[in-house]
Amino acid sequence: MAAKKPAQKTNTSGEELIEHYKKMLMIRRFEEKAGQLYGMGVIGGFCHLYIGQEAVVVGLEASAKEGDSRLTSYRDHAHMLACGMDPKGVMAELTGRSGGYSRGKGGSMHMFSAEKRFYGGHGIVAAQVPIGTGLAFAEKYNGTDNVSFTYFGDGAANQGQVYEAFNMASLWKLPVVFVIENNQYAMGTSLQRASSSPELHTRGHAFMIESEAVDGMDVLAVKEAGERAVAHCRAGNGPYILGVKTYRYRGHSMSDPAKYRTREEVQKVKTERDPIDHVREMLEQGKHATTEELKAIDKDIKKVVSEAADFAQTSPEPSLDELYTDILR
Amino acid sequence: MAIQILMPALSPTMEEGTLAKWLVKEGDTVQSGDIMAEIETDKATMEFEAVDEGVIGKILVAEGTEGVAVNTAIAVLLEDGEDASATADATPAPTEQAPVEETPTVSTPAQAIASVDIPMEDIPEGTTFTSTTVREALRDAMAEEMRANEKVFLMGEEVAQYQGAYKVSQGLLDEFGDKRVIDTPITEHGFTGLAVGAAFGGLNPIVEFMTFNFAMQAMDHIINSAAKTLYMSGGQMGCPIVFRGTNGAASRVGAQHSQCYAAWYAQIPGLKVVMPYSAADAKGLLKSAIRDPNPVIFLENEMIYGTSFDVPDLEDFTVPIGKAKIWRAGDDVTLVSFGIGMKYALEAADRLADEGISAEVIDLRSLRPIDYDTLINSVKKTNRCVTIEEGFPVASIGNHLSATIMERAFDYLDAPVINCTGKDVPMPYAANLEKLALVTTDEVMAAVKQVTYR
């Protein structure tokens, strides 16, 4: 991880920075609460937290427009919150309740929103990559200028189907932004131990796909890269790859003992490169928000998350006849 | 010594063809590799090259002749120094028996099965019929649905410019263009996932697998992505998609190209699975499959692509998914099958009739959902049942039907249900072993004798 960057002066407005800050903080507080509820046994199964990676999805969502689609892996809570899905519905899905986005039948890894064009939530590593490419195929077929944001991790980047998708996306010039969220560990296997080349953004070169490496701890850098990618896709130039370097603070899932990295390594990223601290510093230095205003934001978010957690625990379990619904249309 | 030039087999399943055109005439000298003739099969027109060099002594089969059996002598080639009189020795040669020639009791798949006793349910009186191959019926179904709905498109290997590996998509590229008839790279896992994404995105893809054997590479997307997403999304996200292609054994293509996947897919909630036998069912079910809002597995069989059946001349003929068809009524035993297994069931029923045994023959047509009621009602009447399929015996469709009959009609049974299936072996290549590995009409006959205690 590169050394800590000074807070930059940019053309970004204070208002926009505050929006980024709110969304990133919402994700962090939501994930912290999810971790807590998991520890209490309220959330079952697998639960993969996004803490540390917030700048990636928030930066990219800032480059999206109405009608764009997005999908990702099983580490998906943040993507839903960032595209505007209701924290209550997400949290209630984590607890397996009828108020969840999948009425309790999908769980943490399998959530969808037709309304927000969030296409999952995929539990099979890299399966979302051809599917996201297919969403882009539909955009082209229908003659829209919408794009598909297809997120996957550094682990998924070694799956064969990613390259099958790259080939078709480039061959047919499909409007898909491939976002490789490189959090540097595929479960417990570091990038160095799994990848013959650490430069994941170059993985599309053999397919003539334009790409760039992005600092995923800097929301503005992500947003700017996202805007370049999206403009490329909307103009009909085919896919674009963003190799976004980020870091996950928590374990792969809740049951991860994290023996594969040192506590010092994690601590160093937290203190030197935290994506939310970075935005807060910009806000303070640019005098876009007072300490009181930031505190108020924090309070508001805590309230929303707390309400989501209450809803997720009071929403009833799905009725038993739900067992046999939604198998076929 | 003059050499006989024989009608070639140009595909694993070819039994006869049309000698479309001679490109040489008597007296011409040919070198090895020269193109001598154009031969038309039900799939394609192919050039036929000389293997030996010499002078064309005599052309034995005139151009334009249809139905020339494989291995028929079509010309005589004279070697250096021979004259035309040598052809006298060569001409009469009886047609050599093809190694996979079937026993006389089994009709060849190229012939139409007698349709006299086939009731066509829900077809208005006075409807006329056209004899159509299964291959053409499938193409017609796709073309009709593509005309009706512009969101329907066909994607797969060789479906467009090549006109289909088995010629099923012939003509579709010309009519619908390359936006809607799409040649893919050889990338089953990838294009299946892509098509699932396109279906989530509001389109209606038809994915052709050159064979379902190759769909094993795409199994994760068929099961995990296509079949399960509606449930996992609490009913928000459906996947209206058809996966179709050849399934089961063709002829002499060995273990990796010969598996029947009926039982595999039939197990998966979230899928519909159909496996038609006749051309009318192929057409009507494929149209229903394309319109269905769910993922449908549509299992075809190369061996019956060229078989002709009567297809009703109706503007919009569909067959409902999930409804079996009684091909003939009978009292002594129920024969239940699907897909190519129906060929053995119907042949057995013919032979049984000669022996005074009246068999009721049911074509399930759909394997998910299965029309249990039609089967159970039949078994309650006949009290005996034999199931017929080409797939492996363990956890077969027949096993499942047996269990269901036991649960729902145990007291009606006068004999245990027998499952006739393919054998529990990878498909062998050798002709004699392959024949042994497949279910046969003789085995169906023997099973019926057993359950009727004859």
Task: Give the domain extent around A257.
Answer: 14-317
Active-site residue, B188 included: yes
Q: Is residue A135 part of a domain?
A: yes
Higher pLDDT, B301 or B46: B301
Residue A107 maps to which CATH number?
3.40.50.970
Q: Is B224 on the interface with A (CB under 8 A)?
A: yes
Q: Is residue A324 part of a domain?
A: no
> Residues A97, A98, A101, CA angle at the centre, nearest 5°?
90
Q: Is residue A275 part of a domain?
A: yes
Q: Is residue A179 part of a domain?
A: yes
Q: For chain A, which ranges sit under pLDDT 70?
A: 1-11
Provide the 10 A C-beta neighbour count for residue A31: 25
| Cβ–Cβ below 8 Å for A112 and B232 | yes
pLDDT at B84: 64
Pairing of strands B129-133, B308-312: antiparallel
Domains and CATH numbers, chain B: 3-90 (2.40.50.100), 130-312 (3.40.50.970), 325-451 (3.40.50.920)
Share the mean pLDDT of chain B: 91
Active-site residue, B400 included: no
Q: Is residue A326 part of a domain?
A: no
Find the closest chain A residue to B222 by CA distance: A127
Judge whether residue B375 has pLDDT over 60.
Answer: yes
**Look-up: residue for tokens 């490419």?**
A133
- A258 Ramachandran zone, left/alpha/beta (phi>0; psi -120 to 50): left
Name the active-site residue from B157, B257, B347, B360.
Answer: B257
pLDDT at B92: 46
A90: its two tokens: 């997400």
How far is the alpha carbon of B420 from chain A, nearest alpha carbon, in Å?
31
Give how many domains chain A has, as a whole number.
1
| Cβ–Cβ below 8 Å for B200 and A134 | yes
Query: Which of B176, B181, B200 is the best substitution to test chain A (most A C-beta atoms within 10 A)?
Result: B200
A-contacting residues in B 372-411 (Cβ below 8 Å): none
Lowest-pLDDT range of A120-129, B52-61, B139-148, B218-227: B52-61
How far is the alpha carbon of A197 from chain B, nearest alpha carbon, in Å?
23
How far is the alpha carbon of A54 from chain B, nearest alpha carbon, in Å?
24
How far is the alpha carbon of B202 from chain A, nearest alpha carbon, in Å?
7
| Cβ–Cβ below 8 Å for B189 and A130 | yes
Higher pLDDT, B293 or B123: B293
Find the closest chain A residue to B188 by CA distance: A164
Mean pLDDT, range B416-445, rounded to an integer: 97
- Measured N-to-C along each axis, helices A54-61 and A275-285 cross at an angle, to the nearest 10 degrees, of 60
Q: Is residue A266 part of a domain?
A: yes
- Is residue A23 classed as helix, strand or coil in its secondary structure? helix
> Residues A302, A304, A305, CA angle at the centre, nearest 5°?
65
Query: How far apart (Å, rounded) are the C-alpha atoms in residues B164 and B173?
Result: 10
Mean pLDDT, range B329-338, rounded to an integer: 97
A298: its two tokens: 């924090």
Judge whether residue B46 has pLDDT over 70.
Answer: yes
Is the separation of the CB atoms in B393 and B419 below 8 Å?
yes
Mean pLDDT, range B150-166, rounded to an integer: 97
| Cβ–Cβ below 8 Å for B190 and A135 | no
Q: Is A328 on the interface with B (CB under 8 A)?
A: yes
Give the nearest partner residue to A164 out of B187, B234, B237, using CB atoms.
B187
Give the nearest partner residue to B194 out of A130, A326, A327, using CB atoms.
A130
Q: Is residue A72 part of a domain?
A: yes
Chains A and B: how many Cβ contacts under 8 Å? 146
Q: Is A70 on the interface with B (CB under 8 A)?
A: no
Mean pLDDT, range B401-416, rounded to an integer: 98
